[in-house]
Structure 1
Amino acid sequence: MATQLFEGKGHAAVYQKYRFAPGEELQQIILSYLKEKRTNPIELVVDVGCGSGQGTRFLAEHFKKVVGADISEAQIQEARDASSRPNLSYLVCPAEELPFEDGSVDLLTSFTAVHWFDIEKFMKEVNRVVKPCGCVAISTYTVDMSLHYGNCSEKLTQIFKETRDLIFKYSHSRVKHVLEDYKEIFEALPFQDKKRITDIFDKIPMTVAGVVGYFESVSPFQAYMKNEPEAAKTLLQETEKRFLDAMGVSSRETPLEFWVRHVCILGCKGP
């Protein structure tokens, strides 16, 4: 059974505001793979577990028809409110029950979501809906993250890791898939032609407020908020102050770079 942790309107709004889109390096790896594998035009792309649509919008810049699917109505509403592209649409449905015809999808993607699905059922759906010679691109960012600003990058990264470690005490057991670089998910993909890339690094432009907002958006923090709301709020406030003090600035809108490592599983279904 899928795990549903991102369904409330408040969490969906935070997710839309602070979750970042796939970075340039990850985008290029996916697009290059598709050029290598595909001879026919890609007509239909389905982005599963799309959340508030950060990855789906990237896909809509490159392909004819893109559909984002997520089990959360609140997330889908955020995605719809954020996008007006005519080739992009969204629907509410479970990842394990996709409303597409057998062999109808040219490219199926999922960004930082598959670890929440019932993996066995999801992979059966992938095999059912993807066309012969169709492709999949499944990725997640990892906990290998660092912050970069002037000569205080090491200090900022240390503060980031201390806060992350406190929050991650509330992690769901399914986060183990991320910690293991999606190895089990890779093995479950029912295609012979597949590969897993674990060393994709992206530098995401962000602000101090964005980093704090990212913490607020993750599922362990939402669990922390439910259990200890005052302590959770205080942690974010203190973390922001520590960042600003280390940087010697006063504005939470001060830009910095957020470096993150991605894992990406790429596969092509046989003819």
Structure 2
Amino acid sequence: MPTSSIYDSLRLAAGYAYARPPVHRHMVEAIPDCLGTTTQFRLVLDVGCGAGLSTAALEPFSQTVIGLEPVPAMLTYSRFVAPRSLFLVAQAERLPFRAGLFDLITAAGSLNYVDLGLFLPEAARVVAAEGAMVIYDFSEGRRLLGSDRLTQWFAEFQRRYPPPPDYDLDVRGLAYEQSGLRLQGYRDISVPIRMSLDSYLPYVMTETSVEAAIARGVPEADIRGWCAKTLLDVFRDTSLDVLFDGYLAWVRRG
């Protein structure tokens, strides 16, 4: 199943908008420290913003944020998710902005889906001379602090409902120099989010593996029922720290 058709789903857009834990907020909070700044950003471009969660996370740190997304359906709820931001349907490979406009560009889990040979020169073109691009991503919430119960459950979940094809992206090995950019720094980060069965179940139903299974004809109610039943043994009527393992990389011109 083509990845693009998965993200055309209004069900998935709603899930991303309303059922995802606030991991982006924790990731974005680390950006000023990574860049060594305490100054509010003037104009920020969030590339591949999806439902707008990453864009919303940038609002407290920015005067203006523009979320750019190639799939219109994903922006269905963006005005509710990030009411202070602007949104635009466009391709990352052809950024419709003048040179040197943005003092920060962010890309949260979106570079796996773009032509990097076209995007990186575009990013170098539209970022300001003293600006930066921050690339970050994080894993699914597949493990707990101090227990392997969720790790085992998530492995069975993905065996039952395989995720769509994807490819690994090591942002430390990209050809930045060919586009006039340089990798300045990289940081691993693990974000703990306190979750219960009542919050984890709606979240896991937003995984693309669920959307792919529904597209293959598996009833959504069957997937939800299996998850709800088997997650009882994981959460056991309590709240637990679910870990989202991620990274931030920051890139500058020159």
TM category (shorter chain) comes to: 0.7 to 0.9
Mapped to 2, the partners of 1:45 and 1:21 lie a distance apart of 20
Report what 1:59 is aligned to. 58
Correspondence 1:1-271 to 2 at 5 A: 4=4, 5-22=6-23, 26-36=27-37, 42-85=41-84, 88-142=85-139, 145-148=142-145, 153-167=147-161, 169-174=162-167, 176-177=168-169, 181-184=170-173, 186-188=174-176, 190=179, 191-197=181-187, 199-230=188-219, 233-249=221-237, 255-270=239-254
CA contact (8 A) 1:23 1:202 kept: no
Distance verdict in 2 for CA 1:203–1:248, change over 3 Å: closer
Distance verdict in 2 for CA 1:187–1:20, change over 3 Å: farther
Shift, 1:134, TM fit: 1.0
Identity of aligned residues (%): 24
SS of 1:91's equivalent in the other structure is: strand
Mapped to 2, the partners of 1:3 and 1:127 lie a distance apart of 27
Distance verdict in 2 for CA 1:96–1:259, change over 3 Å: same
Partner letter of residue 17 of structure 1?
Y
Normalised TM-score (structure 1): 0.81
Q: Structure 2 stretches of 5 or more lacking a match?
A: none
Distance verdict in 2 for CA 1:225–1:188, change over 3 Å: farther
Cα deviation per residue 1:24-54 (whole Å; 9 max; x = unaligned)?
6533431112335x8x863110101111111
Mapped to 2, the partners of 1:103 and 1:57 lie a distance apart of 23
Mapped to 2, the partners of 1:33 and 1:99 lie a distance apart of 28
Mapped to 1, the partners of 2:231 and 2:218 lie a distance apart of 22
Q: Structure 1 stretches of 5 or more lacking a match?
A: none
Partner letter of residue 90 of structure 1?
F
Mapped to 2, the partners of 1:26 and 1:201 lie a distance apart of 9
Distance verdict in 2 for CA 1:239–1:93, change over 3 Å: same
Q: Please tell me the root mean square deviation across aligned C-alpha atoms, in Å.
A: 2.7
Mapped to 2, the partners of 1:9 and 1:25 lie a distance apart of 26
Partner letter of residue 194 of structure 1?
Q
Mapped to 1, the partners of 2:216 and 2:183 lie a distance apart of 44
Distance verdict in 2 for CA 1:220–1:238, change over 3 Å: closer
Shift, 1:81, TM fit: 2.5
CA contact (8 A) 2:103 2:127 kept: yes
Q: How many residues align?
A: 250
Cα deviation per residue 1:90-116 (whole Å; 9 max; x = unaligned)?
111112122211111110001111111
Cα deviation per residue 1:58-114 (whole Å; 9 max; x = unaligned)?
1111111111111122222211133333xx211111121222111111100011111
